[in-house]
Amino acid sequence: MAKINLETIAKELNLSIATISKALNDSFEISFETKKRVLEKAKQLNYQANPLAIALRNKRTYTIAIVFPEMDNNFFSLAIKGIESIAYPMGYHILIYPTNESFKREKATLELLHNGRVDGVMISLSSQTKETTHIDKLIKHNLPVVLFDRVSQKLQAPKVVTDDYKSAYLATKHLIEVGCKEIAYLSFSEHLNIDKQRLKGYRDALFDKKMTYDPKLIVKCGNYEKENKMIIKNLLIQNIPDGILASVEELILPCIENCNELNIKIPNDIKLIGYSNSPIARFLNPSLSTIVQPAFEMGQKAASILIQLIDKKYKGSVSETIVFPSEIHIRESTQPSECIKFV
């Protein structure tokens, strides 16, 4: 069975394709009788108009793009699930563009979205992204853009984030209160605001608790698992921290692996807390203290703002920042030393 298109209907009725097209578009050039014949035949053949043709005519694709750093990451999976829960019931299709943390790829992807492929774009920046003229260009082309999680404050677009400063401050304060004196901060990007805010929260907590700030304990990690494992191993061997705050989920497993291999006991020798949306954190050995972002709700909010922008019904400010609070879940990996029973 071949596709049913205008040509099929034209052949069946012995009319030209142009006539069929005009009839289906209710053109005044076509007689009532012909229109009726065409519509009946289209119905009988189960003809569906090509969605691209409709999109071109209406200048509306009902398609949105999500440009984001990582596919296999619990935060982004949940955020996309949230986006999808809003977009699907409203008839939107979703294109996904994971950048694999590459600025080059993020830039190349946005180039593809300028000219009519989508009605709007949701972006979470790659860890390499230093400057955002590629996003500015989209916004200046009047394409609706919403940023989420990893945003740039310079951009004139709505932003959906979590309280990065506060959550890192509270997590660091918690590490100090359970007895840590040498707390390392694992950074994933020197450029991004999200990492800067988390680092600032960490530093301010140290300051407020009258602790020394040691730049050697700020460790910049990379994008590759093996590379990160080596970087963290060096930290553990050379600087011997007694606490770690991991700024992203990907940095937690290499911490645990290294500690196991170096026979550093969590939480006896070192305490560990990290940003993570993994549902398994509480079943780890020891169970992992985490900072949990409301990923699903952030996705939902970003999608509903984007659709409002597309519909020209958005009432907020063009560069509004919506902040969702994160939750800190204290578990065994940051247990105070006096509570630890040696078995």
For residue 134, give the amino acid letter.
H
- Regarding 134 and contact with its own copies (CB under 8 A), the answer is no
Task: Pick from 27, 31, 50, 321 the residue near its own copies by CB under 8 A.
Answer: 50
Q: Which one of residues 132, 152, 167, 278 is an interface residue with its own copies (CB under 8 A)?
A: 278
Tell me the closest approach of the beta carbon of residue 79 to its own copies, in angstroms.
10
Q: Indicate which single residue of 223, 287, 308, 330 sits in contact with its own copies (rule: CB under 8 A).
A: 287
Q: Between 22 and 191, whose beta carbon lies closer to its own copies?
A: 22
CB 186 within 8 A of CB 195: no
Q: 14 vs 263, which CB is nearer to its own copies? A: 263
* 83 touches 94 (CB < 8 A): yes
Q: Are 295 and 266 in contact (CB under 8 A)?
A: no
321 residue type, one letter? T
Q: Of 311, 280, 309, 298, whose CA–CA distance to 80 is shortest?
A: 298
Of 13, 49, 322, 328, the one binding its own copies (CB under 8 A) is 49
Residue list 99-128, contact with its own copies (CB under 8 A):
112, 114-117
- Give one word for 101, left, alpha or beta, with left for phi > 0 and alpha for psi -120 to 50: left
14 versus 339: smaller Cβ distance to its own copies: 339
| 185: amino acid identity, one letter | Y
Site for its own copies in 301-330 (CB under 8 A): none
CB under 8 A: which stretch of 74-82, 160-168, 177-185, 238-246 binds its own copies? 74-82
280 binds its own copies (CB under 8 A): yes
* Candidate segments 168-176, 204-212, 230-238, 276-284, binder of its own copies by CB under 8 A: 276-284
Query: How many CA atoms lie less than 13 Å away from 200 in the CB half-sphere?
Result: 11
Rounded Cα distance, 66 and 113, in Å: 11
Which residues, other chains included, contact 193 with Cβ-Cβ below 8 Å and sequence gap of 6+?
Answer: 150, 151, 152, 153
The residues binding its own copies (CB under 8 A) are 1-4, 48-53, 55-56, 61, 63, 71-74, 77-78, 80-81, 84, 93-98, 112, 114-117, 140-142, 253, 256, 278-280, 283-287, 343
